[in-house]
Amino acid sequence: MQAVIDACSAQKIDATVALVISNNSSSGALRRAALANVQHQHISSKTHGDDNGADNAMLKACQGQQIDLILLLGYMKKLGPQTLAAFGGKILNTHPALLPKFGGQGFFGRKVHEAVIAAGEVESGASVHFVDTDYDTGPILAQVKVTVSPTDDAQTLEKRVKDAEKELLVTTLRELAAQYAQT
């Protein structure tokens, strides 16, 4: 998220981060949004009664800000059916592996890199994909490959993949913003 805020601020992406939502009230995303003077909100089943209430609140918040594109950057829950229906084809996620490998429920953060190394893979990478109703199954928009070194552990691989993932996301968003500007 910080890479996107920085790229928009530096005008590397012709876009604005309009709203940051987290289901975790103490998330770094909310703190970073506050520091960048970006509107932010904690929405969860705890704050809004249940998953349905949280879905409705998220939908209203995004519609209220006239959001064109939703990015799930560290958002660890499935989106609700109302938000998915209203923003279908306009929700992106990043994943720290070359999907469809090492994706799905339970594959997040360092767990992905541990699995890549345990499988003896010689390359990993990052993916930007559209979000659908299941974890990491939507159409892939862009990927970048990262070589797995024989000396890598999960931590060293994770750092290189994160760096590549940030760059991939900014490049992909820059291209999407240019496409939106033409329509």
Locate the domains of the chain by residue range: 1-88, 92-183
Q: What is the tens place of the pLDDT at every residue in 16-70? A: 999 999 999 999 999 999 999 999 999 999 999 999 999 999 999 999 999 999 9
Q: Which stretches of 36-153 are DSSP H helices?
A: 51-64, 81-86, 110-118
Q: Which stretches of 36-131 are DSSP H helices?
A: 51-64, 81-86, 110-118
pLDDT for 130 equals 96
- Domain pair 1-88 / 92-183, same fold: yes
pLDDT for 39 equals 95
Exposure string of 119-152, with b = 16+ CB inside 10 Å and e = fewer, is eebeebbbbbbebbeebbebebebbbebebeeeb
Q: What is the tens place of the pLDDT at every residue in 60-97? A: 999 999 999 999 987 878 899 999 999 999 999 999 99
pLDDT for 179 equals 85
Handedness of CA 152, 154, 159, 165 (dihedral sign): positive
Q: What is the tens place of the pLDDT at every residue in 17-32? A: 999 999 999 999 999 9
Region 157-167: what's the mean pLDDT?
Answer: 98
Instruction: Kindly report the CATH number that applies to the domain delimited by 92-183.
Output: 3.40.50.170
- Torsion angle in degrees (nearest 10) through CA of 42, 43, 47, 48: 160
Q: What is the tens place of the pLDDT at every residue in 125-144? A: 999 999 999 999 999 999 99
Question: Using omega within 30 degrees of 0 as the cis cutoff, is the peptide bond preceding 100 cis?
Answer: yes
Q: 1-88, which class in CATH?
A: alpha beta
At 10, give phi and psi (nearest 5°).
-85, 5
Active site positions, annotated: 95
Query: pTM, whole model, 2 decimals?
Result: 0.92
Rounded Cα distance, 123 and 157, in Å: 10
Strand segments (E) across 25-158: 40-42, 70-72, 91-95, 123-130, 140-147
Rounded Cα distance, 60 and 94, in Å: 24
